[in-house]
Amino acid sequence: MAYLSYIHEARELFYRRGNAAEAELILRPLLKVPKDAQEKRAVHELMGLILRRQLKFQEAVKIYEGLNDSYQAGYCVMLQGQTQNVLPYWKRSLLERNNHWCVSLFGLLTRQLNSYPTLFQIRNHFESDISNLIAAKQGDYLDNMLSYVDFLTQINLETPKFAGRALMHAGHLEQARDFLVRGQKALPNDPEIYFHLGQYSIALQHEREARLMLKQCLLISPTYRPAKDLLELLPASV
């Protein structure tokens, strides 16, 4: 029971309080405690995420290698800016699934894309990859990824929204605006894009524009709760 309580405490610190350093201190002793395969995966996967949050990518590589998770190990190598060293890891991932996202990701990072990712792969990975590249300060890789937004939009119309949202939440507001506007053009009846445009306007303290965007969101989807809550926070005089 003490073992599980430590895991719970580490998760609480990491996910809810955003304190990766303390979560690491709690979890690290458990790496050496004998455990079954399921428990080992739970502890090591959590530790991998905690190390990545702190940009301790080389340590995270070793954690994922211990799990035989070649995709995540290679991903942490990539986040260090070493695409030339990624292939040995990701080739093993392709033995398990020949249409793995890593094929498209490698092409996007290096501007050598020669495959077509699926709609769901873009939905599941593109936004988080952008966020992770920003956190890792891999600006060249980020620019390469973003250069494919128009192409990927032909497969998944939400692509510019994913890019704009990731950039906005990372504080890259100037870049975010262009992609959010592209997202509006691609899906003019998507309430979520107007919600994000409202968030963007609030970040710039353009409350009048924010109110217009949030009202447009609610006009399309009257039950969109996040827009209602955000609209209520705006000054009544706007």
Confidence (pLDDT) at 72? 97
Q: Indicate whether this model's pTM tops 0.85.
A: yes
Residue type, 177: R
Which pLDDT belongs to residue 129?
98
Which residue, among 83, 78, 16, 18, has the nearest Cα to 54 in the 3D structure?
18
pLDDT on residue 4: 79
Helix axes 37-53, 70-78, angle to 10 degrees: 10
Q: Which long-range contacts (CB under 8 A, 24 or more apart) does 31-39 make?
A: 33/3, 35/3, 39/3
**What is the 8-class DSSP label of residue 83?**
G
Q: Are 182 and 149 in contact (CB under 8 A)?
A: yes
Helical H runs in 99-233?
101-110, 119-121, 127-135, 139-146, 149-153, 159-169, 173-186, 191-203, 207-220, 225-233
Residue tagged 């498209």 (tokens): 104
User: CA angle 196-188-129, nearest 5°?
Assistant: 50
pLDDT at 233: 93
DSSP state of 98: T
From first to last of the 238 residues of the chain, give the pLDDT tens digit. 567 788 899 999 999 999 999 999 999 998 887 677 888 888 999 999 999 999 999 999 999 999 999 999 999 999 999 998 999 999 999 988 889 999 999 999 999 999 899 999 999 999 999 999 999 999 999 999 999 999 999 999 999 999 999 999 999 999 999 999 999 999 999 999 999 999 999 999 999 999 999 999 999 999 999 999 999 999 876 4
Domain ranges of the chain: 99-182, 189-238
What is the spatial distance between Cα 30 and Cα 24, in angstroms, rounded to a whole number?
Answer: 10
Local structure of residue 137 (DSSP, 8 states): T
DSSP 138: -
